[in-house]
Structure formats: structure tokens, C-alpha cells
Structure 1
Amino acid sequence: MNNVGIVLISHSPKIVEGIQDILTQVVKNVPIGVAGGTDENEIGTSIEKIVAAINQVHNENGVILLYDLGSAMMNAELAFELTGYKNIKIAENIPLVEGAYIAAVESSMGNDIEKIIRSLRESF
């Protein structure tokens, strides 16, 4: 059984790489994708990077997208639409580091996407 995948979206490649490092120390069985920075690895976000990260971790149990700033959310929404997947949730207004940690732990426990989103909303 695959656990819910997580995609970390940030304006900085270093931020998502650091969060990914933290999460992989805590959980071993959760697919975690990163989309940080522009296509030129500058500050900003890239729809193409987000789509690639979604495709990397997508499975039948879905994917949760977590992001840092408002424009990252807009690109997350566009990327979600471009993939055509139905089982993706955007964790809106959830802190990136803390939310990613909770989502990863809950996913590693086998919780479904709806329960993880509910836990994130209750936590913040």
C-alpha cells in the first residue's frame, strides 16, 4: 500500500530541500517531492517543477501540496489542474514546516488524505 504523497513548494530550493531532509529522518515510507525556486533556481516558483514533483509522488492514495507564500498557492492550483489528477489536496494556510511534518507523520501511519487534511486544519 502506498501512503499519501507530499509535495513541498517554496520560493527557495534550499527551504524545501531542508524540510525534505527533516522529514526523511522521521518517516521512511512517505513519498516526498520538492518544487523549490524557479526553473533557473532563483527565488520564485515553477509550475513545471510542481507538476514534476506531483508526478513523482502521485499514487492511488493522493497527494497533499504544501506551500510557503500566496503566489506559490496559485502555481500549485495551476499545476494541480494541469496534472488532471482528482486526488490532490492543497493544504491552504498551513505553515510549511510544521504542516509538512504533521502530514508526513500522518501519512506514514496510513491515514487517508481527508484525515490528514482534517488534522492539518485542526492543528492550525
Structure 2
Amino acid sequence: MTSIIVVSHSEEIAYGIQKLIAQMTEGVEVIAVGGSDGTIGTSFEPIQQAIEGLKDDALCFYDLGSAEMNLDMAIEMYDGEYRVEKVEAPIVEGSFLASVNISTGKDYGEVVEAVESEYR
């Protein structure tokens, strides 16, 4: 099954999305990475740790500039066995749509296509 990584400048937003998805869809792992040492911002290391700790393929969603930059760098440096892809979609709506598609049994490619086609 595909996992979702949510990277936000705000810890509350990242964990809020994780909580929303947990209440709305079953069986979808959402990894929340938010804030930077208790403040607003992003850090490369927690994003890299989330990606390095994956147990399955993952789709990644982000909110603002440095979240994307740090996520891109972490994906580029990842040399593990799972597919990890950044998805260009709004962080809340995109990750929620992905979770619904994952929970209904769609495969990785179908989930990416469903989300990206919605927000092109």
C-alpha cells in the first residue's frame, strides 16, 4: 500500500492533516513532518528521516517554498527500494484525495494520476 508524507511549515497543520485522513479513510499511513524545532519552518533532517524510514512507496505533499526545496533534496538523496514522489497539489485537498484513492485499492500510478489530473 502507498503511504503519504505531509510536509508543512506548521506542526499543527501537518498533524491536523494526518488526523483528518485517519478519521476519513482507513488503513492509510500518513507521516506528518511539520515545523522546525517547535517553530514555523521546515528542516531537511526530519523530512529525510521520514523518507528513509518508509516501509512502502510514498506520495509527498508540501505547503510552501522551503518545504518543497527540502523535500526535493531528500527525495533526490534517497536511494532506498521504494518509490517516493512529490505530488503537485494543494497539501490538504491533494493528500486527502490521495488517501481516498489509496483506501479504495488503487495502485501507485493510479493514485498519482487521480490527484495530478484533479489539480492540473
Name the TM-score, length of structure 1 as normaliser.
0.87
Aligned to 2:6, the other structure's residue is in SS state strand
Question: Where does structure 1 lack aligned partners over 5 or more consecutive residues?
Answer: none
Match of 1:69 among 42, 64, 70: 64
Moved over 3 A (4+): 55-58
Match of 2:5 in 1: 7
Is 1:54 aligned with 2:37?
no
Code of the aligned partner of 2:38: N
Match of 2:42 among 40, 45, 48: 45
Q: Deviations over 1:67-104 (max 9, x none)?
A: 00122111111111232135111002x10100010011
The 8 Å contact of residues 102 and 120 in structure 1, kept in 2 or not, is answered as yes
Quick one: distance in 2 between partners of 1:52 and 1:108? 25
Match of 2:84 in 1: 88
- RMSD of the alignment, in Å? 1.4
Number of aligned residues: 118
Quick one: distance in 2 between partners of 1:26 and 1:55? 27
Code of the aligned partner of 1:45: T
- TM-aligned CA distance change 1:107 to 1:120, over 3 Å: same
Aligned to 2:40, the other structure's residue is in SS state coil
Name the TM-score, length of structure 2 as normaliser.
0.90
The alignment-based identity, stated in percent, is 34
Match of 1:114 among 84, 109, 112: 109
Match of 2:34 in 1: 36
